[in-house]
């Protein structure tokens, strides 16, 4: 990537009594990167963020910021700042005074502080709201004030703990675009925590998918979605068809896999660090948009046969649920581009073709 390292965590572990919140986490986050920690509730992502912020201590391991060890530094001595779910603006202070507060606490000279506040309000496009009170602002505007306040002291890294979760859907979608733009213009590292997959895929330069206190996969949005390394990542990110299968043959990382019903499919192994012997069991992962509906029954090898279970109209496309002979079921999406396009009715037999190169074999 050609960037320096902003944050480096090495073998970080966090223990609460007999419960382990983080298991041997090692992670490198680049300078000026929008990096996302993604996972379900209780996976350890917020604990990891709080360790970087200094709100939690490590039980073991090291935490470095731009090459300097900070694990023993208190939170107020670290050149990082945090934006929380609740913006916690001072209700009795104007927008200007909210942003100015942190600079005054750091005894920044008044002229320089005022200049910095002006620059931050311009960055978040709130210069016309400088004298408003928080109660006079929308949720999205309050969030931008919180961002300006956090960025004003010029932190080396900004930490964001699900800052969009309190917004409604339309505003949340709009703020994603603004947040990424603010990060690029601010020119610093953002570390973002969310459980929202779409949010992570939209915003991130890279994503770390977490589960049960461990990192499952790190990669770009494209890597995570197109090439999940295990069943958890495949199932958690977007929609997936996970079909039980067995390896019949392999040529390096290109596998021939058999489904219980007898169909054979070609799949790639995403986790290139492992070797799978013939007979290994796992799952063939196929995204719903990678399946093509064949209205005429097609007996070619590699084509799945099944019976339509039901239709689900989704506006831009229609989701079909198809039951395979072995009892497994798959979902596919058909775009509603042609209003008169005829889809097979529930109970009809169909054939499904997998887009070449799109199937992935994942482990348990």
Q: What is the pLDDT of residues 270-299, one digit of tens each?
A: 887 787 888 889 999 999 999 988 866 655
pLDDT in tens, 251-261: 878 899 988 77
Written as six digits, the tokens of 109 are 């000279």
Written as six digits, the tokens of 294 are 């064949």
User: Which pTM was predicted?
Assistant: 0.89
Q: DSSP assignment of 238-295, as one string?
A: S--EEEEEEEEEEETTEEEEE-TTS-EEEEEES-TT----TT-EEEEEE-GGGEEEES
3-state secondary structure of 190: strand
Query: What pLDDT sits at residue 297?
Result: 60
Q: What is the mean pLDDT of the chain?
A: 89
User: Do 26 and 13 contact (CB within 8 A), yes or no?
Assistant: no
- 314 confidence band (pLDDT: 50, 70, 90): confident
pLDDT in tens, 110-128: 999 999 999 989 888 889 9
pLDDT in tens, 15-24: 999 999 999 9
User: Do 276 and 330 contact (CB within 8 A), yes or no?
Assistant: no
- 338 confidence band (pLDDT: 50, 70, 90): low
3-state secondary structure of 202: helix
pLDDT in tens, 199-234: 999 999 999 999 999 999 999 999 999 999 999 999
pLDDT in tens, 69-113: 998 899 988 999 998 877 788 999 999 999 999 888 888 899 999
Dihedral angle of Cα 35, 38, 44, 46, to the nearest 10 degrees = 60
What burial letters (b/e) apply to 106-127, b meaning 16+ CB within 10 Å?
eebeeeebeebbeebbebbebe
Percentage above 90 pLDDT, the chain:
53
CA distance 235 to 228: 9
Query: What pLDDT sits at residue 1?
Result: 44
* Nearest Cα to Cα of residue 29 among 43, 14, 44, 10: 10
Which pairing describes strands 317-323 and 304-313: parallel, antiparallel, or unpaired? antiparallel
* Nearest Cα to Cα of residue 318 among 306, 329, 333, 331: 333
């Amino acid at each position: 990537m050609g960037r320096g390292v902003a944050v480096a965590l090495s073998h970080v572990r966090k223990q609460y009594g007999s419960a382990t919140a983080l298991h041997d986490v090692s992670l490198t986050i680049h300078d000026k990167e929008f990096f996302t920690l993604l996972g379900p509730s209780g996976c350890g992502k917020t604990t990891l963020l709080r360790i970087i912020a200094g709100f939690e201590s490590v039980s073991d391991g090291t935490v470095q910021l731009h090459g300097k060890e900070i694990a023993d530094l208190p939170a107020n001595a670290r050149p990082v700042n945090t934006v929380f779910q609740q913006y916690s603006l001072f209700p009795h202070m104007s927008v200007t005074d909210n942003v100015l507060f942190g600079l005054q606490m750091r005894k920044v000279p008044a002229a320089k502080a005022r200049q910095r506040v002006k620059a931050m309000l311009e960055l978040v496009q709130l210069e016309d709201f400088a004298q408003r009170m928080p109660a006079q602002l929308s949720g999205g505007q309050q969030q931008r004030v919180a961002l300006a306040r956090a960025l004003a002291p010029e932190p080396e890294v900004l930490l964001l703990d699900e800052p969009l979760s309190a917004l409604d859907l339309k505003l949340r979608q709009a703020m994603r675009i603004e947040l990424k733009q603010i990060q690029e213009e601010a020119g610093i590292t953002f570390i973002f925590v969310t459980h929202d997959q779409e949010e992570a895929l939209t915003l991130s330069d890279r994503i770390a998918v977490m589960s049960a206190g461990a990192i499952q996969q790190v990669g770009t949005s494209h890597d995570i979605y197109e090439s999940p390394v295990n069943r958890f990542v495949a199932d958690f990110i977007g929609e997936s068809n996970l079909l039980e299968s067995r390896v019949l043959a392999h040529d390096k990382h290109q596998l021939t896999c058999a489904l219980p019903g007898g169909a054979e499919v070609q799949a790639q192994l995403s986790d290139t660090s492992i070797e799978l012997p013939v007979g290994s069991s796992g799952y063939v992962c196929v995204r719903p948009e990678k399946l093509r509906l064949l209205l005429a029954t097609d007996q070619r090898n590699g084509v799945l046969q099944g019976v339509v279970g039901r239709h689900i109209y989704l506006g831009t496309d229609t989701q079909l649920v198809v039951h395979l002979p072995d009892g497994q079921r798959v979902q596919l999406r058909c775009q509603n581009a042609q209003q008169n396009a005829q889809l097979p009715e529930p109970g009809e037999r169909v054939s499904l073709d997998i887009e070449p190169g799109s199937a992935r074999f994942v482990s348990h």
